Chains A and B, each alone.
Chain A
Amino acid sequence: MRYGQKGSLRRLWAQSRRWLGFIALLALTFAFIFPILWMTSTSFQAGEKMFQLTTEWIPSVWHPENYPNAWSRANFSQYFVNSAIVSIAVMAGNIVFCTLAGYGLAKFRFPGDRFVLLAILSTLMLPLEVTLVPTFLVIHQFGWINTYQGIIGPLLIDAFGVFLMRQSILAIPTDYIEAARIDGAGELRILWQIIVPQCLPALAVLAIFSFRDSWDQFLWPLTVVSLDQYRTYNLGLVQFGEDYGNPPTEQMAIAVLATIPVFVLFWILQRSVNKGFGLSGLK
């Protein structure tokens, strides 16, 4: 006890405050993740335990067969593939076109560039929910009803992504680009070898959000798809709940499976995503 009575008391207080803070934060975190835990635990329960008076967090009897049972009740393999095709295409489209447009707007001056930037930003007020009817009519004119390109088309580029890439490319010193030009590098090569490597964190953020948003799409596929073979996973999941007699525990099993792809993508990109948000300094 080198610090004497008073010092050690203060230290004790500081330490217990740290622990109190830790416990409070843990409780807060639990408040946010308990529905995810509930979903997972319920997906392994027997159907009749759904609304018991006390929730069983760890099932007394595990029912992993909920998963294959649910999967076989509808054409979920096809729905899963459809959602994957749509989401990967939308993610790729956003990555390519948002990077191009973001670079063009961040590092080039051309007549009307300011206006173009505002025009792109203004599409934030035109989400699919607003333009639903005419967008459907456009897709109808193209003959794209009940096709993959019909689902993917209107989602391919999002103004948010353009804005994100522009802001991130703005931070790259223009000198790098000038130097490369003087060395004789072509514009596409500058983009690929200088710009892209420096905005990987922003690209990771863009990848995860564009994938999640298209994986989440419900209203648009609902509008543009009427054939079962083009249904996305979400449409199948809702249909599954509406069909009479499907146990809710099995619906939760399908919901768990719907959650996995986005979580896995986040897990792969986590380090870059943290950097992309500017969270590297977090303790």
Chain B
Amino acid sequence: MASILTTNQAPGRDAARRPARPARRGWRLHYSRRIQLWGASFVLPTLLFFAVFKYGPMIWAVELSFTSYDMVSPPRSLGLENFENLATDPIFRESLFNTIVYIAGSTVLITLVGLGLALAINTAVPGARYCMSAMFLTNLMPILAVCLVWRFLLHPYGLMNQLLEPFGIDRVDWLTDSRTAMPAIIFVTVWRFAPYFMVVFLAGLLAIPDDYYEAAQLDGANAARRFWHVTLPLLAPMIFFVIVVSALLSARIFLMPYIITGGGPGNATRVLSMLIYETGFSYMKMGRAAAISVVLFTIMMVFTFLQMRIFMSREQV
């Protein structure tokens, strides 16, 4: 006991600032209060960090979004002008639309493919563990390398068209045709991220007790019914989790369109994060860029609240 009492003076100093219950016996604190202070001080560095690099910047972004700022002259207040300009800007509207299409497309496909892969691995096929590790490598490959490789594979003379040729499909200009550019980028996204969610789903599948399946089998349920009535309901919370996480992930995507198509053809694959970067750092319109940030933030907020609700409901169980 003595060692605890003498070794921790820092929390004692913190306590002096707390208006709550006064410390007993001079600087020596009540045992439970002292443990509370340890807990709080473990979390404190992270909170301070987020105050400087997350909450502060977001408040600043909201402030900037009502101004015109180029880092040379001080910010000039504009009121709602940035937002009004954005509402009528065709490039912004197209980027917003693209972002939503991208989020929807990649979220749905990542979830379906991830679940499908997990189910395939979870069969008692020999070597499944090694197949899983191999597939997971796509998730560890640097995104930039992924983008560069797929830019070549989807080139009009690339491997993709070579593979499709025997099936009688004519050469497709995947990345320069405005109809296929966005699906192509979603395809690459799924290729890269689905194996990660495969692992997440697999952990969920392994956590389902075998007894449930045996009981269902005894009741004469075939494989499809077992999936529908046992696996799916038990996996439902995890499916929601994956949907929300992959939506958050795709809302912030930058590198894939930036490298693979450069936002083109035209603006067909330009997303909001690209527009923020270009507006802020190519055109130095930081107020306008901040206004776009606020829009992207609003989209992400919806998914984050969904995630928190899932999290809270699970915590209560």
Most B CB contacts (10 A, CB to CB) among A18, A270, A278 go to: A278
| Complexed CA–CA distance, A32 and B128 (Å) | 14
Q: Across the two chains, which residue of chain A brings its CB closest to B142?
A: A258
B117 at the interface (CB under 8 A from A): yes
Complex interface residues of chain B between 262 and 308 (CB less than 8 A to chain A): 273, 276-277, 280-281, 286, 289-290, 293, 296-297, 300-301, 303-304, 307-308
Q: Across the two chains, which residue of chain A brings its CB closest to B35?
A: A108
A129 at the interface (CB under 8 A from B): yes
Distance to closest chain B CB from A232 (angstroms):
10
| Complexed CA–CA distance, A241 and B152 (Å) | 12
Q: Across the two chains, which residue of chain B brings its CB closest to A222?
A: B277
Complex interface residues of chain A between 117 and 152 (CB less than 8 A to chain B): 118-127, 129-138, 140
Question: Are A36 and B255 closer than 8 Å at their CB atoms?
Answer: no
Which residues on the A side are within 8 Å of B7 (C-beta)? 186
Residue in B203, B207, B277, B308 whose CB lies within 8 Å of A122:
B308
Question: Are A130 and B297 closer than 8 Å at their CB atoms?
Answer: yes
B56 at the interface (CB under 8 A from A): yes
Which residues on the B side are within 8 Å of A258 (C-beta)? 142, 144-145
Distance to closest chain B CB from A15 (angstroms):
11
Interface size on A, residues (CB 8 A): 95
Interface string of A167-179 (1 = CB under 8 A from B): 0000000000000
Which residues on the A side are within 8 Å of B149 (C-beta)? 35-36, 38-39, 252, 255
Q: Which of B80-88, B157-165, B211-219 contacts A (4 or more CB under 8 A)?
A: B157-165
Residue in B1, B144, B153, B207 whose CB lies within 8 Å of A35:
B153
Pull 14 A–B residue pairs with CB atoms less than 8 Å apart, ordered by A: A28-B135, A29-B134, A100-B46, A108-B36, A109-B36, A110-B40, A125-B248, A130-B293, A131-B54, A133-B289, A133-B290, A134-B290, A277-B202, A277-B203
| A21-B125, A113-B43 known, 20 other contacts, Cβ within 8 Å | A18-B125, A28-B135, A100-B43, A119-B47, A124-B307, A132-B289, A134-B293, A159-B50, A181-B4, A191-B42, A216-B143, A218-B258, A223-B277, A237-B145, A238-B144, A255-B142, A255-B145, A258-B145, A259-B141, A282-B202
